[in-house]
Amino acid sequence: MIKVVLLGAGNVGVNLFKALQNKNGIELVQWYNRSVIQYKQGDSVVPVTTQLNEIVEADLYLISVSDTAITPVSKALENKKGLVAHTAGSVALSLLEGHQNHAVFYPLQTFSKQKEVDFSQIPLCLEANSEENLNLLKSVAQAMGGPIHLIDSVQRKALHVAAVFVNNFTNYLYTIGEELCKEHKVPFSVLQALIAETADKIKTIPPSTAQTGPAVRGDQKILEDHLQYLTKESHQQLYQLISASIQQHG
């Protein structure tokens, strides 16, 4: 049984908390969160603490707090022998090098507290300072069920930037679609099938070859027509820049 202490109750922390329960080979022995949220699942209630000086012994400490809080939280684990890992996409492994055993356990997904995600579908990006520590992480990752990737700090940074493009920026394009619908009294749901198919297509066709639309066709008439049609300056700028990028990309 691998004993795990989870630290943090943000979007990632809450989802990890749910995902770590009732997993073969894993015992979630404590949850540190500042707001004393206590989740019950079945009959098991994981002990919660709001005090960093009350953290118990464990094999793995998963620090799932905001990037800037990782260092102060990890300081409280200085005398622990277990493996200390953070879950952040944009923070290097070296931030934890003050600990003899340190690692990164990065679930590459977007999390919100309102919508539970299926961890068996989430890629887990692992990095550790030793083979032994990596094996411990792998065991935990395997129990969670998702695909496992060995990703070093430089690659993880690339992934984090890529995630901003395909998740945060994509969601903003959806927001523009929502705005245009609202302006013309069309339900946004009309666009949902298109959004789903666009995301689904890249499972079988690489996006670089799946590109369609007026920009890649070089349909100057439609491009000008759309630009004239858009009333918000920020929408026009985005339309122009992305269209130009698509055309340069070829």
By CB under 8 A, the residues from 134 to 173 that bind a second copy are 146-147, 149, 151, 154-155, 157-173
Nearest CB to a second copy, comparing residues 47 and 147:
147
Q: Which residue has the tokens 């684990």?
A: 77
Q: Which region, judged by CB under 8 A, interacts with a second copy, from 25-33, 47-55, 56-64, 108-116?
A: 108-116
Taking CA atoms, 90 is separated from 104, 153, 157, in Å, by: 11, 8, 6
**CA dist., res. 90 & res. 46, Å (int):** 29
114 forms part of the interface with a second copy (CB under 8 A): yes
214 forms part of the interface with a second copy (CB under 8 A): yes
The H or E element spanning position 63 is strand 60-63
224 forms part of the interface with a second copy (CB under 8 A): no
Burial 163-173 (b: 16+ CB within 10 A, else e): beeeeeeeeee
Quote the least distance from Cβ 32 to a second copy, whole Å. Answer: 22
Nearest CB to a second copy, comparing residues 50 and 169:
169
179 forms part of the interface with a second copy (CB under 8 A): yes
Nearest CB to a second copy, comparing residues 38 and 169:
169
Q: Which residues pair with 62 in a beta bridge?
A: 6, 85
| Rg of the chain over all Cα atoms, to the nearest angstrom | 22
Quote the least distance from Cβ 70 to a second copy, whole Å. Answer: 13
Query: Residues 8 to 27: which contact a second copy by CB under 8 A?
Result: 11
**CA dist., res. 81 & res. 58, Å (int):** 8
Q: Which residues contact 143 (CB under 8 A, 6 or more apart)?
A: 23, 24, 25, 26
Quote the least distance from Cβ 84 to a second copy, whole Å. Answer: 22
Quote the least distance from Cβ 230 to a second copy, whole Å. Answer: 7
Query: Residues 65 to 104: which contact a second copy by CB under 8 A?
Result: 67, 90
Nearest CB to a second copy, comparing residues 34 and 182:
182
Q: Is the dihedral of CA 73, 61, 12, 44 positive or negative?
A: negative
40 alpha-carbon distance from chain centroid: 24
Answer for which of 196, 218, 220, 224 binds a second copy (CB under 8 A) is 196
Answer for which of 53, 131, 187, 250 binds a second copy (CB under 8 A) is 187
Give the dihedral of Cα atoms 106, 154, 150, 135; nearest 10 deg: -80
Answer for which of 36, 45, 56, 241 binds a second copy (CB under 8 A) is 241
45 forms part of the interface with a second copy (CB under 8 A): no
